[in-house]
Chains A and B, each alone.
Chain A
Amino acid sequence: MTPALHSPLDACLVILVLWGVIGLAGLVRPTSLRFVARGLFPLSALCSLALAAVAVWSLGVAPERAMLVVGLPDLPVHLRRDGLSSVFLFLLGAASAGISVFAAGYFRRGHGTSAGLLCLQYHLFLASMGLVMLADDAYAFMVAWETMAVSSYFLVTTQHGLPEIRRAGFLYLLIAHVGATAILLAFGVMQGGSWQFTFDAMRGAHLPAPWAAAAFLLALFGFGAKAGLVPLHVWLPEAHPAAPSPVSALMSGVMLKTAVYGVLRVTFDLLGQPVWWWGVVALAVGLFTALYGVVFAAAQSDMKRLLAYSSIENIGLIFTAFGLAIVFRGVGMPTLAALALIALLYHCLNHAFMKSLLFVGTGAVLHSTGERNLGRLGGLIHRMPWVAWLTLVGTLALAGLPPLNGFVSEWLLLQAFLFAHEVPHTFVNMLLPMAAAVVVLAAALAAYVMVKFFGVIFLGQPREAALAGAHDAGLLQRLGLAWLAAGCIALALFPTQVIHGLRGVVRQLSGADLPLEAAPWWLLEPIPGRQASYSALGFLLAVTAVVLLTILGVRLFYHRRVRRADPWDCGFARLDARMQDTAEGFGQPIRHIFGSFFLLRRELPSPSDRAPRYRVVISDRIWERLYGPLGGLVQRIADGFAWVQQGRIATYLLYSFVTLVALLALVL
């Protein structure tokens, strides 16, 4: 190691460069799958692991800066690593390690982008996400942000031969850029007349209240577009299924979190003093997003779309916690803000692991069966036991069930909500506890979605004859799945340790600390004196102990005789696979209860049909309500301006001339 590597920031930069090198190396032999997939991707996973390790090491290290003289003259790239960056760098490294290992076993020869090019795009994507978290001026941030958007666009359109994938990619790119424009404007507001675009200048700028609010709202819009807040979520269910599964995992598990990082950075660091009503806005949007996402997830029949909608739900929960943290911070309750922020960061970490796990799990299923439609899967627990049992961990985690990790962050969030009535604003203090009801409803629906997801794919009878040929995942794929599942379990069982790691960041953001020393290491007790405690380890031990004792008791006192027979099913003998619930069937209660959310088109067979067909198409009302009129409006405005385009060179020269004169008049 060179002496320059004494600081974590340098180590992070070296890893980002290494990723770039690995990406470029893919171009050396772009068509050799062996070299790219089996050689480069494991190397990349090692880099990811190193990044995660560096990030953990750097959590306790004071913020550090660097300046790279690259790019335009007089515009050096400012970099800064602090606790917040470290948390998200850890998330990036730890989640991408599993995903890259899985990807090493995943990529096959196929249509679309060649392996080498894919490798370059993939690693550019990784490196740009890392750079987003390290950037310390608006230029570097936007360059990294756009590189991230563009590289992921190319990854989404890997199968660019298919028109629907090109369409999904376009939609993604469009919304990414609408969002980026808003972020750019937010930075423009935040420089506050100093025309200095370093983050330090923004920290120092004292904005008048309306401008600060404008900057916050712009940032919320811009980062919300990347995160998938309703109504800017429309790209998510299109782009995630279009991308190859490891890329979907990376986008859902990690990229959405860069938006969370961005909005946290802007609100708590650059703007510094958030006002409480900003939090109410974020909370309302977050809650609506959570409910909307989960209801749509329950109605999906494509497994990757289902997961994409579930990501929208989780982003909603994260923004709910974000809003709550702002409210607490704004009214001068920093300890509670710290609690909400812990819940937020914890959920980010959780979601990175569990959603990546499920996405790569669907990748394994997709590989082995060639099928994404839930209605043609089933019974895969017998054919793919590794994938099934490892995915079950992610399923239970995402369903928010104890003792897994999804529950920990939900628990923390609800604990924070239990104090919401102390906010000193009448009306707000009554509405906030009501918000907890929506959080709980979303969480309970998530369990429904996950039972549907796991039950329809892995349990029951295979719905197609072709599924009999399904094979389990290969060694590298299993390794990737196991790493992500282990991450879920570690986050579940050691919450106190994780929170200890997050404390420094939360202190930096909220200005207060959570007193955790009082509780023993195995017990999570965030607020001393309230006796509100939870211990996943104890929980798991208690349940396991009772399970083992029961099994032992049954064996000891009775017997273990088992006979295998045909299913009973109330004595119905001619049972076949078509009689199980399909994904549509399982989603039926949701369509019934939340009917007003959906735009339903149904084809019902008439009694005299010779070949009866039943078809339900569920679409987002947002399209007809918002995007349809919006598109029409843009079209009309564009048509109105069309006369400017004369197609004659002289006219265009005239435009240039007039512009020039106008600018000169403005300056002189």
Chain B
Amino acid sequence: MRPIEIVTQLLELAAALAAAPLFVGWINQCRAWLQNRSAPSIWLPYRGIRKLFHKDAVIAVRASALFRLAPYIVFAAMVVAAGIIPSMGTRLPVTRIADAIALVGLLATARVFMSLAAMDVGTAFGTLGARREMMVGFLAEPALLMIIFVASLISATTALPAITEHLATQKLGLYPSLAFTAIAFTMVLLAENARIPIDNPATHLELTMIHEALLLEYSARHLALMEWAAALKLLNYACIGFALFIPWGVSTAAGGPLTLFASIPVLAVKLIAAGGVLALIETVSAKVRVFRAPEFLATAFLFAVLGLLVHLLLGA
């Protein structure tokens, strides 16, 4: 392992952990602006997490060890995922242990533990949330894997850094297959991160909630970890999107160590833009009924499959 690899790895992890709540705060701010509200502080997510860490944990009497363990596993899964996704540099030693398919598996593991934990206390909302979360999961996961398949076929590998490397060093060309998959990916991102139109992140008490229903029984440090993990997940998804569709500006193997530092502002710009786009999408669309979620995600899946087909037909 060369020093540059370790530096890249640590920088990415630190950046992801630090920037994730900020990204959520930024989206909330953009959304407030777009909705003509006065925006909350961009630092609010940090304050929330800090406050939660200081509180006493209240756990339901019936909760088992699985319930207490789940936040740590979910958080760890998101941290490891952040270490795999090449958001700044492609020289990531950790990626050898998990390629893009394993990354999808890692996200699924987090989801399964979250759902199991929600079922553990045995409340009406918990099981309801678990059921819906798993439903969104099994609809979104195939779409996500198809998206990754398209990228893998283009670059002949399933290792994310290698995909990014390949796409970033390619001369600028038109990839119609990637255009289709980008649409699919955006839809998957919205669904997987409990955003409108599938779920409403701004609500805590609604019969149609998904993500919040899973967290209802959590409090204090467990809730803080879950919230942080959710923010990390959103950031991770955004970074997967960057890695697949706008990989430019990432420090590749050919570039010197300095390109790594040049990639920090590039990532910041991408995140700011992505946050704005996300807020815009959430502002102009309405939340759909839970029963319509399958249609939404089936569309995403079809877009991904269409991307695959276009790639196979046109070879681009």
Task: Give the Cβ gap from A358 to chain B, nearest Cβ, in Å.
Answer: 15
B115 A451 Cβ-Cβ under 8 A: yes
Can you list, as one digit per residue, whether each of B32-71 has a CB less than 8 Å from chain A (1) or not (0)? Answer: 0000000000000000000001101111111010100000
Q: A399 at the A/B interface (Cβ < 8 Å)?
A: yes
Partner-binding segment picked from B141-149, B239-247, B258-266: B141-149
Interface code B199-230, partner A: CB below 8 Å = 1, 0 otherwise? 00000010000000000110101000100000
A430 interface neighbour in B59, B139, B152, B312, Cβ under 8 Å: B312
B99 within 8 Å of A by Cβ? yes
How long is the Cα–Cα vector from A455 to B61 in the complex, in angstroms?
Answer: 17
Q: With A441-B142, A569-B216, A575-B124 as known contacts, state yes or no: A562 contacts B132, CB within 8 Å.
A: no
Judge whether B97 and A532 touch: CB under 8 Å.
no
- Whether a CB of chain B sits under 8 angstroms from the CB of A546 is yes
Whether the pair B123, A580 counts as a contact (CB closer than 8 A) is yes
Within the assembled complex, what's the spacing in Å between the Cα atoms of A314 and B312?
28
**Category for how many chain B residues contact A:** 35 or more
A563 contacts the other chain (Cβ, under 8 Å)? yes
> Smallest distance from the beta carbon of B190 to chain A beta carbons, Å?
18
Task: Kindly state the separation between the CA atoms of A443 and B119 in the bound complex, as whole angstroms.
Answer: 21
Contact among A455, A523, A567, A592 with B119 in the assembled complex (CB-CB below 8 Å) = A455
Q: Which of B101-128 contact A (CB under 8 A)?
A: 101-102, 105-106, 108-109, 111-112, 115-116, 119-128
- B74 closest partner in A (C-beta): A547
Number of A-B contacts (CB under 8 A): 256
Contacts of A430 in B (CB 8 A): 309, 312-313
Indicate the member of A400, A451, A452, A533 with the most B CB atoms within 10 Å: A451
- CB of B57 within 8 A of CB of A563, answer yes
- Interface residue A433 (Cβ < 8 Å from any Cβ of B): yes
**A459-B119 contact, Cβ under 8 Å, with A401-B105, A402-B105:** yes
- Among B53, B57, B122, B308, chain A packs the most CB atoms within 10 A around the CB of B122
Choice from B59, B124, B159, B301 contacting A533 with Cβ under 8 Å: B159
Q: How far is the CA of A558 from the CA of B225 in the complex (A)?
A: 13
Given contacts A434-B305, A570-B125, are A539 and B102 in contact (CB under 8 A)? yes
B153 in contact (CB, < 8 A): yes
Asked if A561 meets B57 with Cβ closer than 8 Å, knowing A440-B146, A546-B79, the reply is: yes
Q: Which residues of A contact B126 (CB under 8 A)?
A: 460, 569, 580
Q: Are B108 and A447 in contact (CB under 8 A)?
A: yes
> How many A residues face the partner with a CB closer than 8 A?
80
| Contact partners of A421 in chain B: CB under 8 A | 153, 312
Q: Mark B166-183, 1 if CB is under 8 A from A, else 0.
A: 000000000000000000
Query: Is A547 a contact of B116 with CB atoms below 8 Å?
Result: no
A-B contact pairs, 11 of them (CB 8 A): A399-B108, A434-B308, A437-B305, A447-B108, A452-B134, A538-B98, A547-B73, A563-B58, A568-B217, A572-B123, A586-B131
Chain A residues packing against B (C-beta within 8 Å): 378-379, 381-382, 392, 396, 399-402, 407, 411, 414-415, 418, 421, 429-430, 433-434, 436-437, 440-441, 443-445, 447-448, 450-452, 454-456, 459-461, 523, 530-535, 538-539, 542-544, 546-547, 550-551, 554, 557-559, 561-570, 572, 575, 577, 579-581, 585-586, 588-589, 592-593
The 7 A-B residue pairs with the shortest CB-CB distance in the complex, in nearest-first order:
A460-B122, A538-B97, A581-B127, A461-B122, A546-B76, A455-B119, A444-B138
